[in-house]
Structure 1
C-alpha cells in the first residue's frame, strides 16, 4: 500500500504544478455572489453550486447537487482503494453579504491581488477551502490513496438551517473515518493550527414597549418612560463595569496555555488608540472559552427622521457566544430571564430566539490527529502546529460529532488573522494558501498510512 503513495517531493511538485489552475478556478468562484441570506438573488447560489459540481466532476467524482428545503449543497464521492480509509472533506460555497460597499478598496466580486493577498468576498471564507480540497485531488490525479467524499454546503453563512436534514438524508453516503472541515484559521501567517474548541451561539431579539403610541416629548417627558431609553438602560445591565457578561447561569472555562500578544490582538481587531480591552481573565479565555455578548443592531427611529416624541417601542438584536461546554437552550433561558428581571420602570419586555447553535470541544488525540500534525509540520517547513480555540461558531461540528462518533474531526482552514472574513476587504494570503493545499495533499497520504485496514 505505502509504495503507491506519492512521496513528499512528488506532492510538492504536483501542488506547485496545479496552483495556477487552482487559483484561476478560485477566482472564478469568487466572481459568483452566492449569498444565501433572505432578500438576495438565490440564482447566484445555484450558479455557485453548479460551478462547484463541475469542478468535482472534472476530478472524476460521482457528483450531484442536493438540498433539503434550503440552498443547494454538492456531494462528490470517489471510493477508497482496498483497505484504505475514507476522508470526508467539508467546505461551503456560499458567502457573507458585502456590507458597506464604500469600505471596500476594490469590487468585492472581482478578485484582485495586492501585496501577495487575493482580495474578494469568499476568497478566504470559504471558497479557498473548496479549492484546497480540489488542489489535493488534482495533486494525486487517478492515484488517490484514500476514498473521498466532498460535501460542499450552500448556506453555512446563513446558519446551515437545512444541514441537519441533509446530513440525516445522506448519512450513509457521508460516512467516513476522518472528517476535514476546512472553515477555520491558522494561528498566524507561517504558523499552522488545528482548531480544538469553538464557541456556540444564541441570536435573540429583545423588544421593549412602554406606550401605546408616540406622544409629545415636552408634554409627557419626565413622567412617561420612552421605550428607547428603557431599552438602553436594559442593555446596560448585560455587562459588568469591567465588561464581563453579567447574565447569571452561563458557563465559562479556561483556555489553553497559548498566549495572545496584546499588540497583535489590537492590530488584528482594528482597535482605535486609547480603546481598552473589555472583560477579565486571560485574553485567550475571553476570546475562546468565556461567553461574549454583543448588541448587533437596534430598531428605533433614525436620527434624521426622529420627531420630538417619546418612542413607544424599540428592539435590539443580541449576539451571545457560548463557552465550549454550555448549552444554547439553557443559555437562551438565562438571557431571557435576565432581560425580564431587569426591565426598567415596569416596561414590557419580549425576548424571542432567532437562532442558536452548539459549541464544540474536540479531543485532538489519536492517529488521525498525529497524521494531520505531521502533514502541517512538513507543509510549513518544520514549523510546529499549535492547537487553538476559535471565538466564532461552527454549530454543525456538534452534529458531525453526534452522527459520526467514530470519525476523527479535523478542523483546519486557509484563513489567517489578517483575512478579515465577514468584513470589508476580505483576503487570502496566497503563500499560506499554497501551504494549506500541500498540507491537505500530505494529510491524505499520512492518513492512508495511519489508518490502513490490514
Structure 2
C-alpha cells in the first residue's frame, strides 16, 4: 500500500476546514426531524432542503466514475444513493458506506451559553448543533475519504454510499430501498458505518456490538370520565399507581435490573474486550455526564457500567400523556396514564420477540381489572460484530497508530443502528467497521450536542487508510 500519510493528514485537514464544515454548518441549521417525530416531514420542506443540500455538495465534488441520485419510493423518506466505480483492474470488491441525514427532536430549552440545536457554532475546537455528529458529517467524510485515495492515484474498489432519512425512527423506510436497489448494491465485502461513537478522543474506536431497541406506549385506563379526587380517591384505583405496579414487573425499582426474560448469555470474548475498554476509559465512563447535585451512578465500577450499557436490557420512560402540567393540575382523579417506554435490548436479542414478551408481562392480569394496553411502535434488533479478519485487524491497528499514535480499542455501544442488524443478516460474510464521533460530552440527541473537529479529521484519515488496505487485497 503506497499511501502517503502526511498527504492524507493534509488533505483531511484542508477538506474539513474548507470544504466540509461550511456545508455541514448549513445542514445543522435545517430543522429536519426524523419521520417518527415530525408528522409533517413530507410537506414542511425540511427533509427536502437537507437532502438537496447534501446532494448538491456531492455533485459539486465531481468525483471521477461516480453517480449520485436522490431515490424515492412512494411516501417513504428519500435516500441519497451514490456509486463510485472501481479503478482496480482485477479483483475489485464492493464496499458499502452508510450514514443518515435525519435528526432527533431538538429539546431547545436546555441548550446553554448561546448554543442552539439549529445554530452551527464553533467553540473550543467543537462544532455545536443538532445532527452534526449524529451523523450529518458521514456524507462528507465518506466522499472525502474516497477523494483522498483518488488524489494519491491509488487504485480502489467499487464504493456504494447510502445516506438514509429514517435512521432515528428505526430505519423504518430503508428496507424497501435495499430490496429495490439490491442489484446496484451487489454483495459488499466491507461495510463502513460512521454513525457510532468513541470512548475518548485519543484513539480509534471500533464498535463491537450494538444494543437493540423496542419502544411502545403503555396505557392504563380506569375511568371513562374524570372525577373529583376527594370523591374518587380511596375508591377508584389511581392509574398512576397501577402503572407503577406494572413497571415493577419489568424492572426492579431498587436496582434497575430488567426482567430475566430479556437477558442473554454474554460471550466471554466480549467480556474480555469490555474489561480492556474499562481499563482504558476508567472513571470517564460515568464522569462524562452532567450529574445534578449529589446524584451517583448505578455503580462506580467502569466494567460493570459498560456491561450494563452494552449487553444488559434497560428501561427508560421517555414520555408521558394524561398528566397535566403542574400549573393546570386540579384536584382530579384522572381517567388514564400513558407512558412511552424505551427498552434497550442485548445485541443478540430479537426485538420482535421482546415486544411480545413485554406485552404479555404488562397486559396479563391487570391490577383491579383495569384496561391495560401496550402498543409497540418501533423495534430494531441489535448487532454483534462477526470475527475480524487478519487484514482488517492489521489495518485498524495501523491506522490508529498512524493518526492517533495509540492502539485501537473495541467498544460495545448502548445505542442502536438498525441498518447494521439488517446488513449483518443479509451479508453474513461481510466485514464491518462501525465507528464515529460521538465521544465524551458530545451528547447526541441531547442539549449542547457537538462534534470534535480535530478527532473528525483524524478519523477521516483512518477511514482512508482502511479503504486503501482493503483495496490492496488480492
Specify the TM-score bucket, using the shorter chain as the normaliser.
Answer: over 0.9
8 A contact 1:128–1:414 mirrored in 2: no
8 A contact 1:108–1:121 mirrored in 2: yes
Q: Which of these residues, 136, 146, 151, is aligned with residue 162 of structure 2?
A: 151
Query: For the structure 1 residues 241 and 350, does the alpha-carbon distance in structure 2 shift closer, same or farther, using more than 3 Å as the test?
Result: closer
How far apart, CA to CA, are the structure 2 residues paired with 1:379 and 1:67? 40
Q: Deviations over 1:294-342 (max 9, x none)?
A: 1112212313223322112111111111012211122122212221246
| Counterpart residue number, 1:87 | 95
How far apart, CA to CA, are the structure 2 residues paired with 1:343 and 1:221? 19
How far apart, CA to CA, are the structure 1 residues paired with 2:197 and 2:250? 30
Shift of 1:44: 1.6
How far apart, CA to CA, are the structure 1 residues paired with 2:289 and 2:86? 43
How far apart, CA to CA, are the structure 1 residues paired with 2:107 and 2:377? 20
Q: Which of these residues, 58, 73, 76, is aligned with residue 79 of structure 2?
A: 73
How far apart, CA to CA, are the structure 2 residues paired with 1:365 and 1:73? 29
How far apart, CA to CA, are the structure 1 residues paired with 2:12 and 2:332? 65
How far apart, CA to CA, are the structure 1 residues paired with 2:194 and 2:365? 42
Q: Deviations over 1:381-426 (max 9, x none)?
A: 3310011100011122111112222321211112212211111111
What secondary structure does 1:413 align onto?
Answer: coil
What secondary structure does 2:68 align onto?
Answer: strand
1:51-200 matches, cutoff 5 A = 51-57=53-59, 58-60=61-63, 61-68=66-73, 69-81=75-87, 82-83=89-90, 84-104=92-112, 105-141=114-150, 143=153, 145-175=156-186, 176-200=188-212
| Counterpart residue number, 1:292 | 314
How far apart, CA to CA, are the structure 2 residues paired with 1:214 and 1:64? 54
1:302-341 matches, cutoff 5 A = 302=324, 303-341=326-364
Query: For the structure 1 residues 40 and 432, does the alpha-carbon distance in structure 2 shift closer, same or farther, using more than 3 Å as the test?
Result: farther
Query: For the structure 1 residues 386 and 438, does the alpha-carbon distance in structure 2 shift closer, same or farther, using more than 3 Å as the test?
Result: same
Q: Which of these residues, 273, 278, 281, is aligned with residue 259 of structure 1?
A: 278
The reply to whether residue 38 of structure 1 matches residue 38 of structure 2 is yes
Shift of 1:379: 4.1
Shift of 1:90: 0.7
Query: For the structure 1 residues 248 and 377, does the alpha-carbon distance in structure 2 shift closer, same or farther, using more than 3 Å as the test?
Result: closer
8 A contact 2:315–2:344 mirrored in 1: yes
Q: Deviations over 1:332-384 (max 9, x none)?
A: 22212221246333322111111101111012410453254145324433310
How far apart, CA to CA, are the structure 2 residues paired with 1:244 and 1:107? 33
Query: For the structure 1 residues 367 and 295, does the alpha-carbon distance in structure 2 shift closer, same or farther, using more than 3 Å as the test?
Result: same
TM-score, normalization: structure 1? 0.92
Query: For the structure 1 residues 245 and 40, does the alpha-carbon distance in structure 2 shift closer, same or farther, using more than 3 Å as the test?
Result: farther
| Counterpart residue number, 2:296 | 276
Shift of 1:101: 3.5
How far apart, CA to CA, are the structure 1 residues paired with 2:295 and 2:436? 30
> Please, what is the CA RMSD of the aligned residues?
2.2
8 A contact 1:371–1:443 mirrored in 2: no
Q: Which of these residues, 437, 445, 448, is aligned with residue 422 of structure 1?
A: 445
8 A contact 1:414–1:432 mirrored in 2: yes
Shift of 1:188: 0.5
Shift of 1:283: 1.2
What secondary structure does 1:231 align onto?
Answer: helix
Shift of 1:185: 0.9
1:357-368 matches, cutoff 5 A = 357-367=380-390
- The number of equivalent residue pairs is 448
Query: For the structure 1 residues 262 and 186, does the alpha-carbon distance in structure 2 shift closer, same or farther, using more than 3 Å as the test?
Result: closer
What secondary structure does 2:262 align onto?
Answer: coil
What secondary structure does 1:124 align onto?
Answer: helix
Query: For the structure 1 residues 262 and 434, does the alpha-carbon distance in structure 2 shift closer, same or farther, using more than 3 Å as the test?
Result: closer
8 A contact 2:116–2:448 mirrored in 1: no
TM-score, normalization: structure 2? 0.88
Unaligned runs of 5+ in 2: none
Q: Which of these residues, 13, 22, 34, is aligned with residue 16 of structure 1?
A: 13
8 A contact 2:9–2:458 mirrored in 1: no
| Counterpart residue number, 2:428 | 405
